[in-house]
Amino acid sequence: MNIALAQINPIVGDLTGNARKILDYARRAKAQGADLAVFPELCISGYPPQDLLDNSTFIEAVQHTLAHLAAEAPRDMGLIVGAPVRNPAPVGKRLFNAAFLFENGETLGTVYKTLLPTYDVFDEYRHFESSPSRHLVLWRGYKLGLHICEDMWNNEEEAPFYLYAANPIDELAALGAELFINISASPFSYGKHDVRNRLIEESCREHGLPFVFVNTVGANTEIIFDGDSRVHAADGTRLLCAPSFEEHLMLWDSNAPQTACTMQHDAIADLHDALAMGIHDYFHKTGAFSKALIGLSGGIDSAVTCALAANALGSDKVVGVTMPSRYSSTGSVSDSEALAENLGIEFHEIAIKPAVSAFEGMLAPAFAGTTPGVAEENIQSRTRGLTLMALSNKFNYLLLSTGNKSEMAVGYVTLYGDTNGGVAVLSDVLKTRVYELARYINRRAGREIIPENTITKPPSAELRPDQKDEDSLPPYAVLDEILRRYIEEWEELDTIVSHTGFDAALVHDILRRVDRNEYKRRQAPPGLRVTHKAFGLGRRLPIVMRWNRAAIRALAQESSVE
């Protein structure tokens, strides 16, 4: 049997465009001799369709698209695609997340998703009913263990806790499956490739079955799908691997001699490519912009964002603007200029003094007798933000915001100032990892892209004389360790202190800053998600709340006394 794995990049909602792409890949698969072409989860609608699924006209349109696909697909080849479909029962959620096997215009198999991720960025139980049962798909005499994404993820052998009662993989094996086929929309996160390797290898070995995994690729608003489609042999060996972060069609002949795939992944390279794809797809899938625009401060975040944009879109599609103020170091302009030159991008300088002075004059009566502080600092940042948005509005530039995860976490950003933008490129990348990215970018280019001075000088917002980030924050190595544990692992005060030995008052202060700055993050642009816990869709916290660690400690002591 010759199976084509079609790792495609659909656009959410673009039913006709996605169908055209699926037909194109199906025809190429057929031309290469495929018996069966497998496409990703919800490839008709794109993933995540979110509340488009509440639009019944959209669901009808999906039905029409499926009929069109079944009719137009190449003859004498199976076609597996994913789409949302109506739940025919008068009870439960109104839709199923379904996989269909078509051939010669007929529907030969239909499978509904059983395990519906409803955590982190996933909201599947918002729309979908869980499949009440598991069954095999019989096709040309083969017993296919076809299932959808999360259905393969409840399979750890010795877990202390299972999120779901059902284990579709085990059930399909027990029903006599000869081959697992998983169609996924499984997002990228740092290190996820290795997790998938382990999970699929274990599933193969446990059941002695080969495994075909077809994942979607591309970025849809904030969620990035890496692809990473593959075939594993019954003993777990990875036989065939698709390159990550690009569309790919590959064929697996199950009867040919099998050799292992040796493709290696480098975590920082994957991170780079994920972010570049995030920029690329936001830009091209909206189709609304002429170029990308970045405010260059001479610092590491804007430099890395700019290099990623140039990589994603081409140097001719990137505009950098430096906007010095009276507090800017000379490096602010010269390092930005060097970066722009290294990248070969369009570069402008617009000094912000006129507007800042105007605001100072306008506000002088109201501010009389007060001490300069955050309000004055923010005027500078917001003047820059306004200047960039004026350029964006005038020339249809996509403004990229440059704040990193560490800053966004503790609120070391100015709302309506440096947070401005259509997409936040680094908002899921801790500052220490932004440095890793900078070094990787230079290493990969084999020359200086990010100026050395940008990498080595102490980070500063340059909003008052001689300001340094470390005046307001602990060293980033310490800060990031606290943030990673709190945000990505949900470790709390005591656990973090006992694991790291950091000062309890410091950790307490940082956690409170994270909690209190939810209001800034709620209004931030969508941020490219590259860890298993990013701000935004995947981390939903109240703005108005009083989780008081100190008060509760007293109560805990009282109740342990009783």
Residues with catalytic roles: 41, 113, 149
| One-letter identity of residue 438 | A
CB of 161 to a copy of itself, least distance (A): 5
Among the listed ranges 61-69, 145-153, 174-182, 227-235, the one in contact with a copy of itself (CB under 8 A) is 61-69
- Cα separation of 479 and 492, whole Å? 14
Q: Which of 459, 463, 471 is nearest to 435 (CA)?
A: 459
Among the listed ranges 244-252, 387-395, 403-411, 497-505, the one in contact with a copy of itself (CB under 8 A) is 387-395
Q: Is 212 in the site for a copy of itself (CB under 8 A)?
A: no
CB of 409 to a copy of itself, least distance (A): 15
List, in order, residues 6 or more apart from 53 with CB less than 8 Å away.
45, 59, 84, 95, 127
- Cα separation of 74 and 63, whole Å? 19
List, in order, residues 6 or more apart from 177 with CB less than 8 Å away.
136, 143, 144, 145, 207, 209
Give the total of residues touching a copy of itself (CB under 8 A).
113
Binding-residue pattern over the window 404 to 423 for a copy of itself, x denoting contact by CB under 8 A: -----------xx---x-x-
The number of residues in the chain equals 562
- Cα separation of 524 and 454, whole Å? 25
User: According to CB under 8 A, which one of 113, 232, 272, 382 is a site residue for a copy of itself?
Assistant: 382
User: According to CB under 8 A, which one of 106, 141, 157, 161 is a site residue for a copy of itself?
Assistant: 161
Q: Is 362 in the site for a copy of itself (CB under 8 A)?
A: yes
Among the listed ranges 227-235, 263-271, 382-390, 440-448, the one in contact with a copy of itself (CB under 8 A) is 382-390
Nearer to a copy of itself, 36 or 274 (CB): 274
- Location of structure tokens 């340094």: 468
Q: Is 107 in the site for a copy of itself (CB under 8 A)?
A: no
- Cα separation of 149 and 131, whole Å? 13
Among the listed ranges 248-256, 260-268, 388-396, 467-475, the one in contact with a copy of itself (CB under 8 A) is 388-396
Q: Which of residues 41-60 bind a copy of itself (CB under 8 A)?
A: 46, 48-52, 54-58, 60
Q: Sort strands 248-253 and 223-226 into parallel, antiparallel or unpaired.
A: unpaired
Among the listed ranges 201-209, 265-273, 328-336, 359-367, the one in contact with a copy of itself (CB under 8 A) is 359-367
Q: Which of residues 165-184 bind a copy of itself (CB under 8 A)?
A: 165
- Cα separation of 509 and 474, whole Å? 11
Question: Long-range contacts made by residues 492-495, C-beta under 8 angstroms, separation at least 24?
Answer: 492/549, 493/549
Nearer to a copy of itself, 138 or 545 (CB): 545
CB of 493 to a copy of itself, least distance (A): 7
- Cα separation of 203 and 443, whole Å? 37
User: According to CB under 8 A, which one of 367, 457, 467, 508 is a site residue for a copy of itself?
Assistant: 367
Q: Is 23 in the site for a copy of itself (CB under 8 A)?
A: no
Nearer to a copy of itself, 451 or 527 (CB): 527
Binding-residue pattern over the window 305 to 344 for a copy of itself, x denoting contact by CB under 8 A: ----------------------------------------
Q: Which of residues 518-537 bind a copy of itself (CB under 8 A)?
A: 519, 522-526
Distance from the Cα of residue 233 to its chain's centroid:
29
Q: Which of 399, 396, 395 is nearest to 293 (CA)?
A: 399
Would the CA dihedral through 524, 529, 531, 533 be positive or negative?
A: positive
Question: Which token pair is 554?
Answer: 């007293």
Q: Is 73 in the site for a copy of itself (CB under 8 A)?
A: no
Cβ contact 427:308 at 8 Å: no
CA angle 282/292/343 to nearest 5° reads 120
Q: Is 138 in the site for a copy of itself (CB under 8 A)?
A: no
Nearer to a copy of itself, 57 or 456 (CB): 57
Q: Is 551 in the site for a copy of itself (CB under 8 A)?
A: yes
Among the listed ranges 121-129, 248-256, 403-411, 448-456, the one in contact with a copy of itself (CB under 8 A) is 121-129
Q: Which of residues 84-103 bind a copy of itself (CB under 8 A)?
A: 90-94
Q: Which of residues 452-511 bind a copy of itself (CB under 8 A)?
A: 490, 492-495
Cβ contact 35:2 at 8 Å: yes
Nearer to a copy of itself, 48 or 403 (CB): 48
- Cα separation of 525 and 282, whole Å? 12
Nearer to a copy of itself, 31 or 159 (CB): 159
User: According to CB under 8 A, which one of 281, 418, 469, 481 is a site residue for a copy of itself?
Assistant: 281
Nearer to a copy of itself, 38 or 379 (CB): 379
Count other C-beta atoms under 10 Å from residue 247's C-beta: 16
Q: Is 145 in the site for a copy of itself (CB under 8 A)?
A: no
Query: 251-281 b/e with 16+ CB inside 10 Å = b?
Result: bbebeeebeeeeeeeeebbbbbbbbbbbbbb
Q: Is 541 in the site for a copy of itself (CB under 8 A)?
A: yes
CB of 534 to a copy of itself, least distance (A): 12
Q: Which of residues 337-356 bind a copy of itself (CB under 8 A)?
A: 348, 350-352, 354-355
Cβ contact 38:4 at 8 Å: yes
Question: Which token pair is 408?
Answer: 């966004």
Q: Is 389 in the site for a copy of itself (CB under 8 A)?
A: yes
Task: Please return the burial class of 460, using the count of CB atoms within 10 Å of its CB with bins 0-12, 13-18 and 19+.
Answer: buried
Among the listed ranges 219-227, 292-300, 442-450, 469-477, the one in contact with a copy of itself (CB under 8 A) is 219-227
Question: Which token pair is 25?
Answer: 């890949």
Q: Is 67 in the site for a copy of itself (CB under 8 A)?
A: yes
Nearer to a copy of itself, 12 or 200 (CB): 12
